[in-house]
Structure 1
Amino acid sequence: MVSLDLRRLRFLREFEERGTLGAVATALGYSPSTVSQQLALLEKDVGARLFEKAGRGLRLNDAGHLLAQHARVLLSAAEAAEADLAALGGDIRGTVRAGGLQSAARRLLVPAVARMMAEHPRVRVEVFELELEQALPGLRLGAVDLVIGDEYDGHPRPRPAGLRFTAALEEPIKVVLPAAHPLAGAGRPVPIARLRSDIWTASAEGTGHHAMVVGTCRALGGYEPDLRHRSNDADVQLELVRVGAAVALMPPLALPADDPAIAVRDLAEAALRRRLVTVTRETPPAPALTAFLRAVTDQARNS
């Protein structure tokens, strides 16, 4: 009788999507040897070879492709069964694992955790800070239940199959300058073209924020920004602005309510916006996740 381990089936499904042991290991935070071991154990479980040599690597054989197709169905069914059983009991309990970029974690996820503690004390919520690019593999595999990501005008996110993207909040992008900057006075909109000679700060390369800053300087200013400072921590970017070491483009959710050391101004050339999106799997959510999503959505509406 064949015994199927759902966790190992998740490794197989991820290999089908990514194609190499190294890519699976990087995406899921395991070593390549651990991934290889889990897939070897899956072959032992089913009593069949699932891979064949492909140059210096591996690829799925016919049996591997067949099992990967069934794995998608089995994993979705298992998740739906868990949600139905939780709903049948009527008592909202369970674990919700939620991640998001820093401003979303601080301004949306943390207040939602406080509400859940008051309204649904039997729900265990785990929050972590993570960029959407890093979190999607774990979301697909069930290690994460909810991710809040961002996307900017002109830089839409890919929409991988099997995931549901829902808009939660839209906000304008602001120019953030040191208070002593020559363009900080009078409260007027700031032309991006006038910041050609300034030093810039942004999030790490590969993130939506980094692409937005570079793309805005190119499109509206006609130049490559002198982007010397990179940090996914909004407070680090703000501190660089405070000390006069950089200028930035940031959304209001990441900004302090009042800070005399910085000047927040509109863009003169165009109105750019950031959208925060909640990302979940397309399978029916468990009651605990539904309650947490409601708390996050309400907090976004009131922000």
Structure 2
Amino acid sequence: MVVFDLRRLRLLRELEERGTLGAVAATLGYSPSAVSQQLSVLEREVGTALLEKAGRGVRLTDAGHLLARHARVLLAAAEAAATDLAALGEEVRGTVRAGGLQSATRRLLVPAAARTTADHPLVRLEVSELELEQALPGLRTGTVDLVISDEYDGHPRPRPAGLRFAPLHEERLELVLPAAHPLAQHGGPVPLAALHGEAWATSAEGTGHHAMVVGTCRALGGYEPDVRHRAGDAEIQLELVRTTGAVALLPALALPVADATLAVRDVAEAVVGRRLVAVTRDVPATPALTAFLAAVEAQVHRLDERAGAPRS
């Protein structure tokens, strides 16, 4: 009878999800040769080939795919057992690996991590800046526990099976102009149509933010925006507004509390918004993850109170 090593099964499951030994190694902190060696040991234990050559890499054989499917079940059962055992203890302990887009990481995850560390010192927290697309493989295999993602009005994200998407926060998107811009000289909303011909700063092409800016300018302004600058870092976009005269459309969480060099204005034609969602695996949460999610939600409430009634 084969006695399965869960660590090796996890490597096989990660390879099925990520596709290359290098990606598995980078995710789990091993060298590619160490991953290969452990999978070779697994092959010897089960007595059949699990991998085959594919160009300069490897791929799973039919037996490899079969065992990877069983590995999903075994790893989920082991995780459920660990969750149940942790729930029996008087103190909350365990590891939570959380990630999120930049503004959510800075404004939600970092403060929540500080609060959780103070309240539950036996919880180990690992926080990373991650987009949902980067985190999906880790969410599926259990190497990531929580991701704060976003979706913009008119641009809903897919809902992959096996994941839970819980609404967390709604906020308005604001036009950001240089303080000296003629349209910023009054405090009221600015028509998007009036920004035809302006240089825009957005996130990289292919991101939800870039698609939202282009789609909003087309739908509400009737033009194709002149996107000259692209940066995933909102601070860089804001600096481009300050120094080059570009304009941007950014969520409230990405904006500074006060900056005399910038003018923040509502879009005149319609409310444009985004939602933040907490993405987890669709399994019972560990006590540590439950505690951290509570801290994240408390931080959302604090931000809403600071800003007054939520604008949606």
TM-score in terms of structure 2 length: 0.87
Q: Secondary structure at the match of 1:275?
A: strand
Q: Secondary structure at the match of 2:138?
A: helix
Task: Judge conservation of contact 2:179–2:263 (CA < 8 Å) in 1.
Answer: yes
Residues of 1 paired with 2:183 and 2:231: CA distance? 24
Please give the root-mean-square deviation of Cα atoms over the aligned residues, in Å: 2.5
What are the equivalent positions in structure 2 for 1:75-90 lying under 5 Å apart?
75-90=75-90
Give the residue type in structure 2 aligned to 1:242. R
Q: Which residue of 2 aligns with 1:153?
A: 153
What are the equivalent positions in structure 2 for 1:185-264 lying under 5 Å apart?
185-264=185-264
1:292 Cα deviation (Å)? Answer: 0.6
1:170-196 Cα distance to aligned partner (Å, 9 max, x none): 001111111111211212222222222
Task: Judge conservation of contact 1:27–1:137 (CA < 8 Å) in 2.
Answer: no
- Alpha-carbon spacing, 1:78–1:206, altered in 2? closer, same or farther (3 Å): farther
Give the residue type in structure 1 aligned to 2:165. F
Task: Judge conservation of contact 1:28–1:137 (CA < 8 Å) in 2.
Answer: no
Q: Which residue of 1 aligns with 2:282?
A: 282
Q: Which residue of 2 aligns with 1:123?
A: 123
For this pair of structures, how many residues does the alignment match? 302
Task: Judge conservation of contact 1:27–1:134 (CA < 8 Å) in 2.
Answer: no
What are the equivalent positions in structure 2 for 1:58-207 lying under 5 Å apart?
59-207=59-207
Task: Judge conservation of contact 2:112–2:299 (CA < 8 Å) in 1.
Answer: yes
Please identify, of 247-256 and 200-209, the stretch whose mean Cα deviation from structure 2 is larger: 200-209
Residues of 2 paired with 1:95 and 1:143: CA distance? 10
- Alpha-carbon spacing, 1:266–1:28, altered in 2? closer, same or farther (3 Å): same
Give the residue type in structure 2 aligned to 1:148. I
Residues of 2 paired with 1:250 and 1:57: CA distance? 41
- Alpha-carbon spacing, 1:12–1:296, altered in 2? closer, same or farther (3 Å): same
Give the residue type in structure 1 aligned to 2:20. L
Q: Secondary structure at the match of 1:173?
A: strand
Task: Judge conservation of contact 2:11–2:24 (CA < 8 Å) in 1.
Answer: no
- Alpha-carbon spacing, 1:174–1:118, altered in 2? closer, same or farther (3 Å): same
Q: Which residue of 2 aligns with 1:273?
A: 273
Q: Secondary structure at the match of 1:183?
A: helix
Task: Judge conservation of contact 1:21–1:36 (CA < 8 Å) in 2.
Answer: no
Residues of 2 paired with 1:208 and 1:183: CA distance? 27
- Alpha-carbon spacing, 1:132–1:27, altered in 2? closer, same or farther (3 Å): farther
1:59 Cα deviation (Å)? Answer: 4.9
Task: Judge conservation of contact 1:21–1:35 (CA < 8 Å) in 2.
Answer: no
1:54 Cα deviation (Å)? Answer: 6.7
1:213 Cα deviation (Å)? Answer: 1.4
Q: Secondary structure at the match of 1:158?
A: coil
Q: Secondary structure at the match of 1:87?
A: helix
TM-score in terms of structure 1 length: 0.89
What are the equivalent positions in structure 2 for 1:42-53 lying under 5 Å apart?
42-52=42-52
- Alpha-carbon spacing, 1:26–1:85, altered in 2? closer, same or farther (3 Å): closer
1:14 Cα deviation (Å)? Answer: 4.1
Give the residue type in structure 2 aligned to 1:88. L
Residues of 2 paired with 1:118 and 1:192: CA distance? 45
Task: Judge conservation of contact 1:171–1:275 (CA < 8 Å) in 2.
Answer: yes
1:217 Cα deviation (Å)? Answer: 2.0
1:60-97 Cα distance to aligned partner (Å, 9 max, x none): 44322321221111111111111111111121112212
* 2:25 equivalent to 1:12: no
1:275 Cα deviation (Å)? Answer: 0.6
Please list every run of 5 or more consecutive structure 2 residues that lacks an aligned counterpart in the other structure. 304-312
1:242-274 Cα distance to aligned partner (Å, 9 max, x none): 224311111111111111111111112221111
Residues of 1 paired with 2:42 and 2:297: CA distance? 40
Task: Judge conservation of contact 2:151–2:275 (CA < 8 Å) in 1.
Answer: yes
Residues of 2 paired with 1:224 and 1:42: CA distance? 55
Task: Judge conservation of contact 2:25–2:35 (CA < 8 Å) in 1.
Answer: no
- Alpha-carbon spacing, 1:222–1:38, altered in 2? closer, same or farther (3 Å): farther
- Alpha-carbon spacing, 1:116–1:156, altered in 2? closer, same or farther (3 Å): same
Residues of 1 paired with 2:14 and 2:216: CA distance? 35
Residues of 1 paired with 2:279 and 2:122: CA distance? 23
Q: Secondary structure at the match of 1:143?
A: coil
Q: Which residue of 1 aligns with 2:20?
A: 21
Please list every run of 5 or more consecutive structure 1 residues that lacks an aligned counterpart in the other structure. none
Residues of 1 paired with 2:229 and 2:21: CA distance? 29
